[in-house]
Structure 1
Amino acid sequence: MPRVLSSSDVEDFRDRLTDAAERLFGRHGPERMTMRHVAAELGVSPMTPYRYFKDKDDILAAVRTRAFNRMAAAVEAAFASATDPVARSREVGRAYVTFALEHQHAYRLMFDLSQSTEADYPDLVAACTRARAMMTRQAAELIDAGLITGEPEMVAHMLWSALHGAVVLQMADKLSPHIDPVTLRRETFLTLLKGLGLDLQSSSRHRPAPRHAAATRSTGRRTPRP
């Protein structure tokens, strides 16, 4: 007689399926990946994934939902780790880049496609909204502090677009050999923020010493950053 699965058993196996699907989407692309690939990756029967997910779109939505929630959690923690608007904005950017570079398959699935049935997955919609809200919140704080001007959601999308573009160029290895990705992101943001009214001198009081300063002094070299 088959063992009755508990709710934790179901969730654990769904997580395993989602992990496998994320790897396979990265390996084969969403178009070529099949539920049979997922089953083979886990060494289970071809029909087993259908006990947990309706179809490939269902599992793709689960992969993307988890990725958006993980990214949102990372930037939320970064936002909470600093005490002023400029530092918070910087930490949010670092957390975003770190997530993207450490989870490249998931990041591409988050942004490289849009499922026609996305509205059918409320958890995915909620996860996307959560991530977008965090980006808007850090922009709103800069505006509320009088450091820049603009409408929060528009400013957030401007900054997000710039950050995403720089990250994708780096991931695709399309940057010139003479362009340092950290410098590119910093200069892009400074240019945008200055255009929005940021006075670098008056906002300098918000800037703590860089994390890598001590390492630079002791070794004579800048420590690598995401």
Structure 2
Amino acid sequence: MGVQEQPYHHGNLKQALLDTALEHLTLHGPDKVSLRALARDVGVSQTAPYRHFEDKTALLAALATEGFRRLYDASNSVIKADSTVASALQMSGKAYIHFALDNPELYRLMFGPMLSPDDDFPELEEAGGNAFNVIVSLVQRGIETGEFVDKDPLLVANSTWAMVHGISSLMLDRRFDCVEGGISESVLDESLDIILLGLQVR
């Protein structure tokens, strides 16, 4: 018995495929995501997903794009207008780490080897840039207000991102489990404090 296609309205099928792909990614990781399985679970013909995604790489790029948009929302939404830049950067960094912990497979896809920086996906590049610019903007603001050392904002942002990303990856891979006491919420706060010490004017 063949697959019965669902009467999706224009524009709805792509989102349904992305939603289902995110479920597959969360449950099984990127290796197990396939257009054929998506078509089956959404209830459309096996050729239908190809109207929206050229191949699996294009589908994974769309998922990563959504991931970076969510990361931007998570790290930007916690910034309060009346907080110091240091406090805002710490809250944003903490939100970044918790996003990674709450979305491990999506986070690994966003930064993992399955998508190359050389791939031509403009929406993915834009979404990734917007997420990174949350850090850049805060660093730039901190330099302008005199809270942070007067260094190249991009260099400072890259260094800050590297440390926050490193903490996220180590926590995801449970590398802190071998450290006495692990890493609690309070230790995480202290780790972010140490990062800020290198930025603040003293």
Using structure 1 for the length normalisation, give the TM-score.
0.74
Q: Distance in 2 between matches of 1:134 and 1:19?
A: 26
Stretch of structure 1 that moved more, 82-91 or 123-132: 82-91
* Distance change (3 Å), C-alpha of 1:117 and 1:133: closer
RMSD (CA atoms): 2.6
Return the match for 2:190 from 187, 191, 194: 187
Q: How does 1:78-157 map to 2 (within 5 A)?
A: 78-80=78-80, 82-113=82-113, 115-116=115-116, 118-149=118-149, 150-157=151-158
Check if 1:173 corresponds to 2:171: no
* Distance change (3 Å), C-alpha of 1:135 and 1:88: same
> Which runs of 5 or more residues in structure 2 are unaligned?
none
Q: Distance in 2 between matches of 1:31 and 1:165?
A: 23
How much does 1:34 deviate?
2.2
How much does 1:184 deviate?
4.0
How much does 1:21 deviate?
1.7
> Which runs of 5 or more residues in structure 1 are unaligned?
200-226
How much does 1:47 deviate?
1.8
Superimposed CA distance per residue, residues 9-67 of structure 1 (whole angstroms, 9 cap, x where no aligned partner): 34332122112222323444434432112223323332221122111111111101111
How much does 1:4 deviate?
8.4
**1:159 corresponds to which residue?**
160
How much does 1:128 deviate?
0.9
Stretch of structure 1 that moved more, 147-156 or 172-181: 172-181
**1:55 corresponds to which residue?**
55
Q: Distance in 2 between matches of 1:198 and 1:174?
A: 32
How much does 1:141 deviate?
1.9
Asked if 1 retains the 8 angstrom alpha-carbon contact of 2:6 and 2:43, the reply is: no
* Distance change (3 Å), C-alpha of 1:141 and 1:22: same
Asked if 2 retains the 8 angstrom alpha-carbon contact of 1:72 and 1:131, the reply is: yes
Q: Distance in 2 between matches of 1:143 and 1:132?
A: 17
Stretch of structure 1 that moved more, 51-60 or 110-119: 110-119
Q: Which has the higher contact order (CA 8 A, sep 6+)?
A: 2
Q: Distance in 2 between matches of 1:40 and 1:58?
A: 19
Asked if 2 retains the 8 angstrom alpha-carbon contact of 1:24 and 1:37, the reply is: no
Using structure 2 for the length normalisation, give the TM-score.
0.82
Check if 1:41 corresponds to 2:41: yes
Q: State the identity %.
A: 28
Whose Rg is larger? 1
- Amino acid of the residue matched to residue 42 of structure 1? V
Q: Distance in 2 between matches of 1:21 and 1:116?
A: 20
